[in-house]
Structure 1
Amino acid sequence: MTTTGSSVISALGAGSGIDYAKLASDLAEASFAAQRDRATTRKTTLEAQISAAGQLRGAMSSIASALGDRVRNGDLAPRGELGNSAVAKVAVAPGQTPRGNFSLEVTQLAQGQTLLSRSLASPTATVGAGTLTLRFGTIDGASFTADAARTPVAITVTASDTLASLATKITQSSGGAVTAYVATGTGGAQLVMKGRDGAANGFVLEAASAAAAPSDVAGDLTYLGWTPASSGTLLRTAARDAAFRLDGVAMTSPTNRVSGLPAGFTFDLTATNSGAPTTLSFAGNASAITGVMNDLVAALNDIAGQIKELAAPVGGRLGSDPGARELKRDLAGLAGQVVMAGAAAGEPRTLGDLGLVLERDGTFKLDNARLTRALETSPDAVGAMFTTGASGVFAAFDRLSRDTSLASDPGSLGGSLKRFEAERSANEKKLAKIAEQQEALRERLTREFNASEKRVAASQSTLAFLRQQVDVWSAKDR
């Protein structure tokens, strides 16, 4: 039997030119091949396990996140219906479940002040140098009460400013509190200035002309000043609050978006109905809740399918992983888990009460008849299970997602991921060490082979000399 060692010795003894660098590299690589192959195989296994554990953890996180979005967006909240839908649009704040009937009478919509300047010849007409000051407050007839909490806006106007450039300065300097533009009509060009909704957003224009002898004429900044006592004809709409009655209680709002109502809903007021109150009623959003339960069952079945494949006892990447087994147990007990500990007797308290059913094969289905009964007999209790509070469906899945990702728990997928990543790091160091040892062996063998080559070369030189002498001796003997 010819071994690698005997082959090398034969080659050296033969003195035939050998590629010692390649020979050293091949021997070093062969010496560590078994260790390197084991470490490489382990690396592949660990990466597959990390991917599988991350996949399951991500799937659970996605369910909790999607469910949270549905709850926070108000998709599952009760729907408000108005007898006169032209009066307002109703929305329910996330986590709120208003019930019952209300009456709504809107007597006034909120609006902002609209002020027109006196006319100039054109948008490019100069307005005169000076300072234009915007003051904010409340206008009542011919009187103005300034809001001491709001700093006046002083606008520097140059001699080259036109009506058009002044409009831009007003909008920019006020930060949008007053928006201005130029409109050209039959009487010439005028500034149109519009404030924000609400009685407290009224405004006056104080004009301080830079002219030596200011006069109230076009081309002098004084011409554009305005107070409610000076010229009421330029005020087109006055700033005012919205006014309405909810169940007969008089209320106001600085905007037509009304929030902070006792039942947790909001209005967008769109029209008045003075003297003709309309009815607002709330009912559970049964169709949306049925839809989200169907989506939840589909998502759970997707995860169940992933667990069946990834955690299979034979061939599964997580077949013996405690984190995957724990998640499988958690899902198996999901239908019976109490998610509303404070539910009254007879009201739904588990996911099973909402129709979630675990099949024998580990998949889920929705018992629509049971869900429908719960929605019909306990609509308020079912609605309360779909909020962002400490109890409910979202809270249950959020806790499960967090527990699944908990790296400090060795029995969770988060703990498994932490362990796999630590093992991968150790394996990477092992591969690096093998590479260092292989390189050290290659360098040592190269030095030894080079020394051997020199000795063989010297021996061959001596042998050649001796042969030459023997040939000379032989020739003399003839």
Structure 2
Amino acid sequence: MTTISSTSSSTGATSSTAAGTAATSATTTAAASTSASTTATGSATEALLTSLGVSGTINATSLADELSTAEYAGQVDQLNTQNSTLSTEISDASTLMNMTSTLASSLDSMINAGQLSSTPQIANSGVATVSAGTATGSGTTTLEVDALAQGQTIASPTVSSGATDVGSGSLTITLGTIAGSTFTPGSQNPINVTIAQGSTLAQMASAINSAGAGVSAYVATNSDGQRLVITGPQGAANAFTVSASENASDPGLSQFAWSPAASGSPSGSGATLAASATDASYILDGVQRTSASNAITDAAPGISLNLTGTNRGNPTTISFTDPTSAITTGMNDLVSALNTIVNQLNTDSAAGAALNNNAGARALQQSLSSLSSTVVMPDATTGQPATLADLGLTTNKDGTFTLDTSVLDKALQANSSAVAAMFTTGANGVYATVFNLSQAVNDPTNGNSLAGSVKDMQSQQSTITTQLSTISTQQTTLRTQLVSQYSALNSTVTAYKSTQSFLTQQVALWTNSSSSSG
């Protein structure tokens, strides 16, 4: 029995060992399979993250920046290109606008300086200064000045101190004319000047000057003290009287009163006459004349006077400069300036250039092309020059200009005064034509002008700025959304990697445990 039993036990033991060996083998195979599966999954995730450029950890901010920028990059580039193109067009148009303005301004300066017109000049500059009148003058004129125009001046008695109280009440100033001791009031109403109690000479002068009485007052200082001086405008019709209405309790104003009837009163009882109001008296071209002012506009054709001295019995002469040489130089300068504008315009409006299809550029080209034939002197009589073409300005096929000096010389020889008359700053003439051209070019209310084009393009730039601002806001919003999404994804990926690590550790523990049990 023992033997048989022993035999049976031995057989069972062998069978149990085989089963354990098989189980261990199966467990090891399963663990290896699980490990391989987990490794494969991790590798796939890593590969996916790597392909996304995040290498297992997402930089949400950087990725959001790149994607939001890329989303609107095309629109932003397009708008920036449009804005740059507009800036170039505005710059080119502004250059042409400034060139036309500069031309008009330069021409104005030359004319006002008398360089392009027949200018009067006087032999005796101590008698008068002369300037060009509105008309054109020529020949020689004689001038003899008998007397200058002057204003009436009166002076008060001397006051020992400037701080002295001059009294209070009112002064009445009346303008008019004086003949002997008779004063005749003019058409202007008398002016009352209130003098406050405690006033000084300086305060009285200020009150008179502020009253609008047509006279001026100031305080003159001498070795004895101070005096109030009152002066009227030039001309015999601007004489004046001063009457005083004193405050009974604060007398003193009567010393500032003056009238021709009282001019012979004892010294110190009132103001005295320092100078009478007189008209200027002069002889021009042998004709006796008078003027209430020493400044005499258009005293003769082409002559305005400002009398400064007398030369009774010794007439001086006024002659006119010959503008022929200056006009020839001026016309050459004008042609040069016009060609500078035309060349710039041709460059800017050529095929592919910034102003190739600009309405303002086309309008300027049309104006320049007709400039030589434009009538600048509508009142010119037969035989007198009326256009720039009559002065030799010709237009070439490319729009540039040439000066035919033979035509200009002929016009100057035939009628130099009529040519000179074209170079004034009046409503007609060369300057007026150039000025009107410049004004049209620089008129922002005209959509077909360069200034109108600039205004429209600036409006487009403003719209582009608004669009870029809107895109910036949209891009910021998208970036915020992407940062939120990728931050969440980053958390998910991190969780998956944590699970992967945990499973890998568990499988390793199971494998080690099974191996130990076997």
> Would you say same fold, with TM above 0.5?
yes
**Could you report, residue by residue, the CA deviation over 1:201-225 in whole angstroms, capped at 9, with x for unpaired residues?**
22223234445697xxxxx443443
The 2-side partners of 1:351 and 1:8 are apart by 82
Counterpart for residue 54 of structure 1: 94
Paired AA for residue 493 in structure 2: V
The 2-side partners of 1:464 and 1:367 are apart by 98
Report 1:21-420 matches (<5 A).
21-68=61-108, 70-71=110-111, 76-82=116-122, 85-94=125-134, 96-99=135-138, 104-121=143-160, 127-156=166-195, 158=197, 160-161=198-199, 166=204, 169-171=207-209, 173=211, 177-184=215-222, 190-211=227-248, 220-232=252-264, 234-247=272-285, 250-259=288-297, 261=299, 263=301, 265-274=303-312, 280-282=318-320, 285-313=323-351, 316-319=353-356, 321=358, 323-328=360-365, 330-356=367-393, 364=401, 366-368=403-405, 370-405=407-442, 412-420=449-457
Contact 1:105 1:278 in 2 (8 A): yes
**Superposition deviation, residue 470 in structure 1:** 2.2
Paired AA for residue 98 in structure 2: G
**Superposition deviation, residue 56 in structure 1:** 0.9
Paired AA for residue 226 in structure 1: W
Contact 1:131 1:155 in 2 (8 A): yes
The 1-side partners of 2:205 and 2:472 are apart by 74
Query: Which has the larger share of helix?
Result: 2
Relative distance call for 1:326 and 1:169 in structure 2 (3 A) is closer
**Could you report, residue by residue, the CA deviation over 1:331-382 in whole angstroms, capped at 9, with x for unpaired residues?**
4554454434554444333324334455687655555554344223212221
The 1-side partners of 2:108 and 2:47 are apart by 71
Contact 1:353 1:370 in 2 (8 A): yes
Equivalent position to 1:20, from 60, 64, 68: 60
**Superposition deviation, residue 191 in structure 1:** 4.0
The 1-side partners of 2:94 and 2:447 are apart by 15
Contact 1:13 1:456 in 2 (8 A): no
Relative distance call for 1:204 and 1:357 in structure 2 (3 A) is same
Paired AA for residue 228 in structure 1: P
> How high is the sequence identity, in percent, across the aligned residues?
39
**Superposition deviation, residue 113 in structure 1:** 1.4
Relative distance call for 1:421 and 1:147 in structure 2 (3 A) is same
Contact 1:243 1:253 in 2 (8 A): yes
**Could you report, residue by residue, the CA deviation over 1:382-440 in whole angstroms, capped at 9, with x for unpaired residues?**
12322345542123223322443456766643454355335434443443454344344
**Superposition deviation, residue 308 in structure 1:** 4.9
**Superposition deviation, residue 45 in structure 1:** 1.8
**Could you report, residue by residue, the CA deviation over 1:13-65 in whole angstroms, capped at 9, with x for unpaired residues?**
98722211211211222233333223322221221111111111221122224
Paired AA for residue 255 in structure 1: S
The 1-side partners of 2:194 and 2:78 are apart by 78
In structure 2, list runs of 5 or more residues that go unmatched.
1-45
Report 1:463-478 matches (<5 A).
463-478=500-515
Relative distance call for 1:148 and 1:364 in structure 2 (3 A) is closer
Q: Computing the radius of gyration over CA atoms, which structure comes out larger, 1 or 2?
A: 2
Contact 1:87 1:272 in 2 (8 A): yes
Relative distance call for 1:303 and 1:459 in structure 2 (3 A) is same
Q: Using the TM superposition, name which of 22-31 and 142-151 deviates more.
A: 142-151
Relative distance call for 1:390 and 1:206 in structure 2 (3 A) is closer
The 1-side partners of 2:151 and 2:84 are apart by 68
TM-score after normalising by structure 1? 0.80
What is the aligned-residue RMSD (CA, Å)?
A: 3.9
Relative distance call for 1:112 and 1:463 in structure 2 (3 A) is same
In structure 1, list runs of 5 or more residues that go unmatched.
1-5, 215-219
SS at match of 2:261: coil
The 2-side partners of 1:433 and 1:171 are apart by 62
Contact 2:175 2:188 in 1 (8 A): no
The 2-side partners of 1:439 and 1:191 are apart by 78
The 1-side partners of 2:456 and 2:203 are apart by 67
**Superposition deviation, residue 110 in structure 1:** 0.8
TM-score after normalising by structure 2? 0.74
